[in-house]
Amino acid sequence: MAKYETKFGPFEGNRSGLGRALRLVLGTGLALSAVGCGSSPAPKARTAAGAEGEETGTMGGEATEHDTISKAGAAELIPKEKKRALTEDQRADFEKAMQRYESAKKSGGLSGSECNSVSSAFKSVADSNPGLPEARFNQGAVLAECGKQDEAESIWKGQTSYGPAIANRGYLAWKRGEPQEAESLFNQAIKDDPLHTVEARNNLAQILRDKARHASSPDEKKGYVSQAVSNLRTVLALDSNNLQAFSTLAFIYYDMNMLEMAKLVGNQAVAKADEIATGKFAEEKVEEAAEGKAAKGKKGKKEKKESGGDDTEGGKLAKEVNVHEEGTGVTPEMKRELAVVYNTLGLVELKKKNISPAIGQFKKAVGMNPKLAEARLNLAVLSLNNRDYNTAEENFKAVLDLQPKNFDAAIGLGVALRGNKKIDEAETQYNSAEKLDPSSPWSYFNLGLLYQDYKDGQKPALHKAQDYYRQFLGHTNDKTPDSFKRDAEKRIKDIDEIYVALDEAAKMQAEAEAMQKKAEEQQKQMEEQMKKQEADEAAAKAAKDGAKGAAPTAPGAPAGATEPGAPGAAAPAGDADQAATAAAPADDQAGGGKKKKKKK
């Protein structure tokens, strides 16, 4: 059996970063829930990252857990928010508009008429309350959600000092393929509105991370990464529950080959998500609450005796105290971010060559977000390498449903189908992959393998295999591993040797068939001779037996008389004496054989 080949080239996993789609999100986070909008997260303008290639490196000095996510120094990074004097009427107007939006969303989305109606509701609030930039922003955000980006951008351009509006203009620029304009607007949002920069900083961090991957020198790369990390730390200082910042930071550390830091931040993101979902405080807060409760009674040993404890039970008591806030549950937004985190944790394990844990993390990522193509592709490739063809086939198909032009998934599905003995389907899939990217060598190589090792092994199939290998060699480039080139060349030579062996085998087969035919003819002749001899012998014996049993005919007896018992007729054969007696005249029989003379 041929050696197993996936033919993806060197696999290091697929990442989520600047290839992830930026998107706008309008929801309750836009609502005015306190005296000002500072406590409300800015509208989501998410980022994405390309998955090709990888560069590794180290930053100057390893960051600590405290440096990564601490709010220490936040006062220097973030100015204090100025309080706004909002009347109850202003709050009520805004809440009423938000309720209309939420009601429309629950009913199945914003239709054309609802879109204009809800947007107009926010416009009315904004016109009446110039001190509520959130209302004007939401007016544009609703239009953007309905696909009216040009109208939304026109509204946001009027909000020259409101960070979320400027950040979303940056998003639209990025979507139009204007990365420099997008970066400029994200920086402008940070400069003009430091308090509302969460999404601008998240997006800017992604752009900087991408620049770092394409930097021309280690120092340039280090500078971009430092800026990205600084922005993400500021995001966490502004919003310690921002899972996107956690996931992006973990990914950047992975990209810099700082695997332990990536794993640390990723695990912190998972813990933070659990805290947000359940409303359960971190362990430090639980211990503080337990200590505060114990200090109130001052009953000391008596209470401990009654509870069966002693002076060392404080720590245990702290762990048993459950302090809860109202949890949000695991929201769709949280699932999307956690999927990215789990995918990054899977990549960390993969780089450490911990295959089983990596597969486990990728499965978690797919479970959180079945539409995260990178996680599905990673799971499919590792499953393929482990010969789990069913899982590989399922996930490659899912990737192609999400990304029909994904060449790696197309080739991978062909390999999975081949592993599941679906040879004809595998061939069809390889041909589909070839159409997606005729310049890639891998479809030709896999077709060569299919015809060499999985067809009938006869000359026509082997000839096609050689042709595919030659096409593979004709499409190789500087990224094609030399080992595959050598393998293709060797396979072509092996098939030539197989031709010689097949010719020799055919010759020997022909000789054997000729000998067999000659032997069969001789056998047939012998059988025919034996049959003839047996027939001759049988005929001779029959003739001999017939001669022995025949009697002489009486003189003068009619030659044709055949009636038994008639006068003068032959007696039945087999009794010679009776036959002789029957042939004599009647008088002779009566007279004892003496003949009387006739009187005249």
423-430 long-range contacts (CB < 8 A, ≥24 apart) are 423/450, 423/454, 423/455, 426/450, 426/454
User: How far is Cα 446 from Cα 417, in angstroms, rounded to an integer?
Assistant: 12
Q: Which stretches in the chain have pLDDT values below 70?
A: 1-85, 281-326, 549-600
Instruction: Please check whether residue 369 is in contact with residue 375, taking contact to mean a CB–CB distance below 8 angstroms.
Output: yes
Instruction: Please check whether residue 276 is in contact with residue 241, taking contact to mean a CB–CB distance below 8 angstroms.
Output: yes
User: Around Cβ 555, how many Cβ atoms within 10 Å?
Assistant: 6
For helices 133-145 and 88-106, give the axis angle rounded to 10 degrees: 10
- Res 59: pLDDT: 31
- Token pair, residue 52, equals 């090709």
- Res 295: pLDDT: 56
Alpha helices in 129-197 (DSSP H): 133-145, 149-157, 163-175, 179-192
Alpha-carbon dihedral angle through residues 441, 445, 448, 449, given to the nearest 10 degrees: -170
User: Around Cβ 469, how many Cβ atoms within 10 Å?
Assistant: 24
pTM value is 0.67
User: How far is Cα 199 from Cα 245, in angstroms, rounded to an integer?
Assistant: 9
- Res 307: pLDDT: 43
pLDDT digits (tens, 9 = 90+) for 202-253: 999 999 988 998 899 999 999 999 999 999 999 999 899 999 999 999 999 9
Task: Name the residue among 232, 179, 167 with its Cα closest to residue 23.
Answer: 167
- Res 72: pLDDT: 39
